[in-house]
Structure 1
Amino acid sequence: MKIHIIILALLLNVSNCVGQIKEKHNSTIKKDTIMETFDISKYKNLAINPKTGLYILPNGDEVQYFTGSGGIGFVERTKIKNSAYCIVKVFFQNNILQAKGDEFYGFPIGIHNEYDEKGNLIKEINYDKEYKFSVDDLVKKMKEKYNYDLMNVEKTYNLNRYVDLEKTKLPLYEVYYRDDKNALILHSYVINGNTGEILFNTLRSTQGKQGSLYDVFIKSFKEKK
């Protein structure tokens, strides 16, 4: 069974989070107080990228905001320039920061923090706990081995990770990278999230139904045993 952890589910309904959660003692909370607030007025003078529809920050990053779950509070997503990283922040109805964390191709990475309405840090979730081979390690490996630039979101068709509890008992990455000559062809990989070993690779297409890469990998995985 694959475990896909969705960042917005975490941030919009933190009480239902999964992962490693560490409650902070009162003495620690006092040292980790933050009063970051949401200011909608900062968007008034920002230009909009006509291609993405996002606001352009002075440093080149692009940002968007929308109302939170049930129309309560705000969610702000900042896409880092020339990369696949995104910073996600959720704010209470009173505009105080409620939660903050990073994403890479839409999945949560690193430490995600939750705050109370006074700005006190109350929870931490470590989304990298199950992955000894980090996202940075993956980016470096694919660049050195195949000259793939995983920060290029035009060339990287898709990238995700999950913990396979049913078959391999391993954390896994899936990488889909467009061919240089034919953008409809995808160089597809399943990679061990602990060691970085490439467990399976094949060519797939962006067209038609082919079944999941995971299923094809598992069939090959069983045959090797």
Structure 2
Amino acid sequence: MKPLSLFSIIVLMLCSVQCAGQQVTPQKPNGLKKFNKAKYSELNEKNSLKYTENDTIYEIKEESSYFLELKRSVGNRFIKYYSYHKSNLSLQEEGQSFSEMPIGIRKVYDGKGTVIKEFNYDENYSFSVTDLITKLKREKQIDLNEEKYTVMRHLEKGKPYYFIRYPFNKISLKYIKIDGSSGEIVFDKFLYPTE
């Protein structure tokens, strides 16, 4: 089975129906942030919709009904994403992910720039992703900003956990499970392929 790309994961997050959005009292417009179509056209002519500016990597995608802009700092895996309505180029959604995992607050806007829904992906996780990165770097010499690490979150019977998977050597993977409330390592074990 072919692994999903970061773009595919973010599109799935944008279209997700698993996490019910909380209805929010509409907030005042956000200044009507707009998609920079001129920059997009300029980049499109160069066949390069990915560029680096001031230590920030930008990537722009065009979908059938929206434009998607991804940005992250060089050397880390925190990605901010913004989708824009194609009809008027105003901000449609914004959020953040780490290692293809949604984190933080995702906001959904109407065409006038008013927040109409919010999703809090950190609601059950008092032990933050930043805490997780610091802990694993200090205790296990693991840098989760390296691409070889897969980081996921999951609720088991209402209890939050982080799961980290990575290749340890040519024949085995290592799995670490961490409590999303306390930061306690629940298990740290190898998985060998069965043939």
TM-score by length of 1: 0.71
The aligned counterpart of 2:78 is: 85
Counterpart selection for 1:162 from 126, 130, 154: 154
Where do residues 190-209 of structure 1 align in structure 2 (5 Å cutoff)? 190-204=177-191, 208=193
* Number of the residue aligned with 1:172: 161
Deviation at 1:109, TM superposition (A): 0.4
Q: Structure 1 segments of 4 or more deviating over 4 A?
A: none
What residue ranges of structure 1 are gaps of 5+ in the alignment? Answer: 1-5, 211-225
Opposite residue 129 of structure 1, the aligned amino acid is: E
Identity score, percent: 29
Note the 1:92-171 alignment, pairs <5 A.
Answer: 92-93=85-86, 94-153=88-147, 155-156=148-149, 158-165=150-157, 169-171=158-160
Query: Match for 1:170: what amino acid?
Result: K
State yes or no: 1:67 paired with 2:59: no
Length-normalised TM-score, structure 2:
0.81
Aligned twin of 2:6:
none
> 1:163 Cα deviation (Å)?
0.9
Normalized per residue, the structure richer in strand is 2
1:146-192 CA distance string (max 9 Å, x none): 11111122x42x11111123xxx42111112344xx36543320111
CA distance in 1, matches of 2:34, 2:82: 10
**Residue 150 to residue 10, structure 1, CA distance change in 2 (3 Å):** closer
Please say if residues 34 and 91 of structure 2, whose CA atoms lie closer than 8 Å, have aligned partners that are also in contact: yes
Is the 1:138–1:196 Cα contact (8 Å) retained in structure 2? yes
Deviation at 1:63, TM superposition (A): 2.4
Tell me by how many angstroms 1:118 deviates. 0.9
- Is 1:21 paired with 2:22? yes
Larger radius of gyration: 1
For 1:58, the equivalent position in structure 2 comes to 53
